[in-house]
A and B are shown apart, each in its own frame.
Chain A
Amino acid sequence: MSRDARINTVLLLLVAALAALPLVLGLGDHKEEPFTGADAEAETAITEIDPDYEPWFSPLYEPPSGEVESALFALQAAIGAGVLAYYFGLRRGRRQGEDRAREQAGPGAGAGPGDGDGAVPERTV
């Protein structure tokens, strides 16, 4: 594993650890419903401060169930992740193509030092 790939892996592991720690340490145990959304908690706080407040508008469309809602959230993440993956894949492919073209054009033209992220086997130099 290249140094770059190692650092990237450590970054991902850190994020995973930050997300997992509250669950592992049971930091939600003091609540009736642990790990609800902060947005919903804010709604509760509003009704505590102003018990008479009535939302004056309701969503035009509401996912009929938690399952549908999580599907739509997954869709949102998938669209984003797909575009990001396309971007990095395209960059990588272009770079490899350019390197290859340079190699064919003449040995000694040399490949650039801009190594990839190392997650995929490196091109042959």
Chain B
Amino acid sequence: MTTALAEAAPPRGGNRLRFLAVGLGALVLLLASIGAAITLGPADVSLVNVRDILLNHLAGAEIPVRVSKEAIVWQDRLPRALVAAACGAGLGLCGLILQSLLRNPLADPYVLGISSGASSGAVVVAILGVGSAGLGVPGGAFVGSLVSFGAVLLIARLAGGGDDKLILAGIAVTQLFSAITSFVIFAFADSDATRGVMFWLLGSLEGVRWNGAALCGLAALAGTVLCLARAHVLDAFAFGDDVAASLGVHVGRERAVLITAAALLTAVMVSVAGAIGFVGLVLPHAARFLAGPLHLRLVPVTALVGAVFMVWVDAVSRIAFSPSPLPIGVSTALVGVPVFIAIMYRRRRTP
């Protein structure tokens, strides 16, 4: 993948080799990070155990390993690390799409009201029990995020359309659904339920399994492929819709496809892992710092950097306060905000 990308990118001096090195390095780093994340933790699992378990499952080996260790690594830590990687990549890409299309460096996957809708959906299922049999909490979150995104689109359209209206509608809907969420919690939840839901509102990878990993992984891969195929379209929006149109881009169609894709991708991630804040905003900026402004490089670098970042953030939040894990959204903000400020500072000095 990376070779084809470097080949297709316009020449920028000797940067091609550097880009290739960054891309390959990030891929290796991602695999190493996942390896580290599934080895680290309070349970007594050695690196040899992890190797044996992986060989058993991936290469068909039959090395005897204790069932409890096997369950921890293969049923708990690995799917969890993969969900973390997929969320990092997916939310980063959503941020990238929205920052390009809305031409706003502050756009993130949640400006469209998606996270607050997901939270409301989850809370309605978890606390009120509406549809809890058929949907479950993740299903409720997915439905909620689609409802809120639909409301944002409808309001923006009724207000006459345009990016500014979309952002304003997103803010309004976010506030509305946050209020609904708070209302349901205050009116109907007991303290246990509140604690469970709070975890979910701040993002949590507790108890994710392979079905969640498969769903998030497929969504993140599909998002990456779409963004790579649309890399030039994302570039073309740099100077706004008119310039994009004059470069042969079907502005309305591409905008609809990309924004809907970003909304669906976010909805999937939120439905599995809760509302993980700040990654979608920060990751594209960090990736720009490494890969430059052109999306053919920016897309894979954002996905890889996002994946590595989230795997480590999740591993640390899982281990540092063990046995009670820190909600991952708290960690992402704690790490993300200083990184964001550092990038702002560096960019001011070297424009």
Whether chain B is bound by chain A comes out as no
A residues at B contact (CB < 8 Å) = none
